[in-house]
């Protein structure tokens, strides 16, 4: 019973609308154990017939039956499976993959075999031993002679255990000694129960087989059996095929990447520089935001918020420093707090306490017969951080803590401890409960010196008790002009702020809360915007990198055209070819991202060593999210850059690809 049958095969080529018939009704049957030589002159249709039998040429009329089952040559996936599991190719020009070793060339056909990695390596070595090259497995094709290259091609064709071996002019480039050896190997293959079909124009080669089919002008001129075919051999341990796994594509991509490392390293360095800049600027943005948050939180308690009575003026305050200024200048008769209002806030969930806050504007104090201005003075509350204290203690009864800028100006010294304990007399003007002006004065002792940093707010402060008692003694109103709401946890500050701002009494909004978070959000937004601009500028180089990858991939497709044809002939699909090139591009992107990360951490460390001497803070803070984003960006850029070249590679006709120089 025939294993392979060709029924009425017709094939034509077209030049414009003009048709050139090449095969004209070919009918042939082949059996396992045969060594069939397809003989004929050039242009007689031998190679075209082999391409049809090998599943490379799908544009023909007629039927190809394998083991009594007709192949649907219109279905590309079916033809891929057919080449993968049934066909083994041996070429006149060897068609070995130059960047792979002898062993890896043979393993190429085994990557689609259902074997473990150890079994594949063992099988490849076994095939190389069979052709006498077991001692050459680590060499590359350019280190072999012509005869050795052909033996590697034979080992590769046999490795996946196909039933049909197609040899296209297998001895055309060999001397007489190597020709004899190769033909002997082919005869032994047929003796093992395989079907060997050799295309040749040499009568001597044709006479070596069991049967000669002569083609002339696209037809079978004669079909002659010259010796008995070899007996069929039961193949119970047939190696089953599978689709190419993704891991094989990445492995092959990595091997090619290493082989062309010189060119690829330039692309990786260029891409890494762009990614490095993006990563470094991201870290800088994180550091600046962290530094600002750290500085603000060292001055102001993040769990506390300042609350004013809501008016059109207070509603416009965007920071606590503005709120303090407004509270100091506001009319106490319309903006002070009642006990009911304070209780309303104290009853809110997550509120620990509510402190009354007194703010006095334009306070003056006398020293050695001269008057000095303290600008705004407020009562000390939990809103302020104890870290602000640079010398002395927090203000107690009849005491005041003065801002260091005031000390430097009035006492002409930066020795903060030297002013602690000094006496000053303060005075300011406010109103009574009826809105009438009241002059307030008090003798105080300087308890400490505070540093408001760059907040812009005056941090001259008395204790709440002292300020209230002083106002009361002068007959001034003791209703607070602001309050401080202390929240149980910083995570709840935003929700409490919303609740405070949403409180209504007599169907009117009552309060306006100002938190540190509100100001920080604004600052952080500005920092983020600046960071994104810097990242975008740095990202321009990534566009250049993407173009470099595109050019490199197109060059690679051009250089590897024959390799693409070999892989398709071995049974790889178009998707496999696409993945091969996208895999290499993705590897370039991943290595670039890794290199960028190392560079960013290295330079970031050096910059932090320098900047810490100025800011006492690490201003380059690269987070895990930044690194992950960098890798994702590298993957996306490299993948998109590879799409068109990979698509171009997959669309190549395998017959044309194999014929490429």
pLDDT digits (tens, 9 = 90+) for 547-578: 888 988 898 888 889 999 999 999 999 999 99
Lowest mean pLDDT among 94-103, 131-140, 262-271: 262-271
Q: What is the pLDDT of residue 286?
A: 87
Cα–Cα distance between 476 and 479 in angstroms, integer? 9
Closest to 503 in 3D by CA, of 313, 349, 329, 301: 349
Which domains are seen in the chain, by residue range? Answer: 4-242 (3.40.50.300), 248-295+522-659 (no CATH), 304-488 (no CATH)
Q: What are phi and psi of 456, to 5 degrees?
A: 85, -10
- Chain segment 630-644, per-residue pLDDT in tens: 999 999 999 999 999
Q: What is the pLDDT of residue 458?
A: 60
Query: Which tokens sit at 441?
Result: 């004065």
H-state helical runs in 300-387? 320-329, 332-335, 339-346
Q: Please give the radius of gyration of the chain, using alpha carbons only, rounded to the nearest integer.
A: 43
Q: What is the pLDDT of residue 457?
A: 57
What DSSP line would sit under 497-546, residue for residue?
Answer: HHHHHH-EETTEE-EEEEEHHHHHHHHHHHHHHHHHHHHHHHHHHHHHHH
SS3 363: strand
CB 516 within 8 A of CB 330: no
54: Cα within 13 Å, side-chain hemisphere: 29
User: Does the CA dihedral 484-486-487-490 come out positive or negative?
Assistant: positive
Q: DSSP state, 141?
A: G
Give burial (CB, 10 Å; 0-12/13-18/19+) of 366: middle
pLDDT band at 226 (very low <50, low <70, confident <90, very high): very high
SS3 307: strand
Lowest mean pLDDT among 311-315, 344-348, 386-390: 311-315
Residues 71-88: what's their mean pLDDT? 90
Q: What is the pLDDT of residue 575?
A: 93
CB 362 within 8 A of CB 427: no
* Sequence-separated (6 or more) residues with CB below 8 Å from residue 636: none
pLDDT band at 328 (very low <50, low <70, confident <90, very high): very low
Residues 228-251: what's their mean pLDDT? 85
Cα–Cα distance between 563 and 344 in angstroms, integer? 80
Q: What is the pLDDT of residue 232?
A: 82
Taking residue 43's Cβ as centre, other Cβ atoms within 10 Å add up to 12
Mean pLDDT for all residues in the chain: 86
Cα–Cα distance between 575 and 582 in angstroms, integer? 10
Lowest mean pLDDT among 325-339, 520-534, 634-648: 325-339
> Does residue 260 have a pLDDT over 60?
yes
Give the Cα-Cα-Cα angle 76, 82, 87 (nearest 5 degrees). Answer: 130
CB 156 within 8 A of CB 108: yes
- Chain segment 16-51, per-residue pLDDT in tens: 888 889 999 999 999 999 999 998 888 788 889 999
Q: How many residues does the chain have?
A: 661
Tokens 């100091």 locate to: 328
Q: What are phi and psi of 364, to 5 degrees?
A: -120, 155
pLDDT band at 335 (very low <50, low <70, confident <90, very high): low
pLDDT band at 298 (very low <50, low <70, confident <90, very high): low
pLDDT band at 424 (very low <50, low <70, confident <90, very high): confident
Give burial (CB, 10 Å; 0-12/13-18/19+) of 232: middle
Residues 282-287: what's their mean pLDDT? 86
* Sequence-separated (6 or more) residues with CB below 8 Å from residue 2: 29, 30, 31
pTM of the model: 0.73
Tokens 């919303």 locate to: 498
Host H or E run for residue 423: strand 423-431
Host H or E run for residue 19: strand 18-30
> Does residue 8 have a pLDDT over 60?
yes
> Does residue 322 have a pLDDT over 60?
no
Cα–Cα distance between 26 and 162 in angstroms, integer? 24
What DSSP line would sit under 270-287, residue for residue?
Answer: HHHHHHHHHHHHHHHHHH
Question: Kind of pairing, strands 508-509 and 504-505?
Answer: antiparallel
Taking residue 297's Cβ as centre, other Cβ atoms within 10 Å add up to 16
> Does residue 358 have a pLDDT over 70?
yes
Own/partner pairs, 319-322, CB within 8 angstroms, 24+ separation: 319/514, 319/518, 319/519, 319/522, 320/383, 320/457, 320/514, 320/515, 320/516, 320/519, 321/455, 321/456, 321/457, 322/514
Tokens 């207070």 locate to: 314
């Amino acid at each position: 019973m025939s294993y392979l049958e060709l029924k009425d095969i017709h094939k034509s080529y077209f030049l414009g609308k003009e048709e050139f018939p090449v095969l004209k009704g070919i009918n042939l049957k082949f059996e396992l154990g045969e060594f069939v030589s397809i003989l004929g002159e050039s242009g007689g249709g031998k190679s075209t017939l082999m391409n049809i039998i090998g599943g490379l040429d799908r544009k023909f009329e007629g039927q190809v039956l394998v083991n009594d089952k007709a192949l649907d040559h219109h279905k590309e996936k079916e033809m891929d499976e057919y080449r993968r599991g049934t066909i083994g190719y041996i070429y006149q020009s060897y068609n070995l993959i130059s960047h792979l070793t002898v062993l890896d060339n043979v393993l190429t056909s085994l990557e689609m075999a259902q074997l473990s990695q150890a079994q594949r390596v063992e099988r490849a070595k076994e095939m190389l031993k069979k052709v006498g090259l077991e001692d050459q497995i680590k060499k590359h094709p350019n280190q072999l002679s012509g005869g050795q290259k052909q033996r590697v091609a034979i080992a590769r064709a046999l490795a996946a255990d196909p039933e049909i071996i197609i040899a296209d002019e297998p001895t055309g480039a060999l001397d007489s000694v190597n020709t004899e050896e190769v033909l002997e190997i082919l005869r032994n293959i047929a003796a093992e129960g395989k079907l060997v079909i050799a295309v040749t124009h040499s009568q001597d080669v044709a006479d070596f087989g069991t049967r000669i089919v002569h083609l002339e002008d696209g037809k079978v001129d004669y079909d002659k059996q010259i010796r008995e075919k070899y007996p069929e051999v039961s193949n119970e341990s047939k190696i089953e095929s599978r689709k190419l796994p993704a891991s094989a594509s990445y492995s092959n991509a990595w091997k090619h990447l290493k082989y062309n490392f010189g060119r690829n390293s330039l692309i990786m360095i260029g891409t890494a520089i762009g990614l490095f800049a993006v990563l470094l600027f991201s870290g800088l943005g994180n550091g600046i935001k962290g530094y600002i948050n750290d500085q603000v939180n060292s001055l102001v308690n993040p769990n506390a918020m300042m609350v004013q009575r809501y008016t059109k003026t207070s509603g416009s305050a965007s920071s606590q420093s503005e709120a303090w200024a407004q509270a100091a200048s506001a009319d106490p008769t319309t903006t002070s707090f009642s006990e009911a209002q304070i209780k309303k806030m104290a009853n809110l969930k997550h509120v620990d306490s509510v402190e009354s806050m007194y703010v006095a504007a334009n306070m003056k104090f006398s020293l050695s017969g001269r008057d000095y201005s303290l600008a705004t003075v407020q009562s000390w509350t939990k809103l302020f951080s104890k870290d602000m204290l640079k010398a002395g203690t927090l203000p107690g009864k009849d005491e005041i803590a003065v801002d260091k800028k005031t000390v430097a100006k009035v006492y002409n010294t930066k020795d903060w401890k030297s002013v602690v304990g000094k006496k000053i007399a303060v005075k300011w003007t406010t109103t009574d409960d009826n809105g009438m002006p009241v002059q307030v004065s008090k003798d105080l002792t300087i308890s400490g010196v505070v540093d408001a940093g760059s907040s812009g707010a005056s941090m001259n402060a008395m204790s709440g008790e002292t300020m209230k008692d002083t106002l009361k003694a002068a007959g001034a109103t003791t209703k607070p002009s602001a309050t401080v709401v202390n929240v149980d946890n910083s995570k709840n500050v935003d929700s409490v702020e919303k609740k405070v701002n949403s409180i209504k009494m007599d169907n009117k909004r009552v309060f306006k809360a100002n938190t540190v978070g509100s100001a920080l959000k604004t600052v952080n937004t500005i920092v983020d915007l600046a960071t994104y601009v810097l990242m975008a500028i740095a990202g321009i180089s990534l566009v250049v990198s993407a173009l470099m990858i595109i050019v490199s991939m197109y060059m690679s497709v051009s250089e590897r055209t024959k390799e693409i044809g070999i892989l398709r002939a071995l049974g790889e699909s178009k998707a496999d070819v696409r993945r091969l090139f996208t895999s290499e591009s993705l590897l370039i992107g991943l290595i670039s991202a890794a290199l960028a990360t190392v560079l960013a951490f290295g330079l970031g460390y050096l910059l932090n060593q320098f900047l810490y001497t100025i800011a006492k803070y690490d201003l380059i803070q690269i987070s895990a999210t930044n690194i992950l984003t960098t890798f994702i960006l590298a993957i996306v850029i490299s993948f998109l850059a590879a799409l068109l070249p990979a698509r171009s590679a997959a669309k190549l006709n395998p017959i044309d690809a194999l014929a490429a120089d």
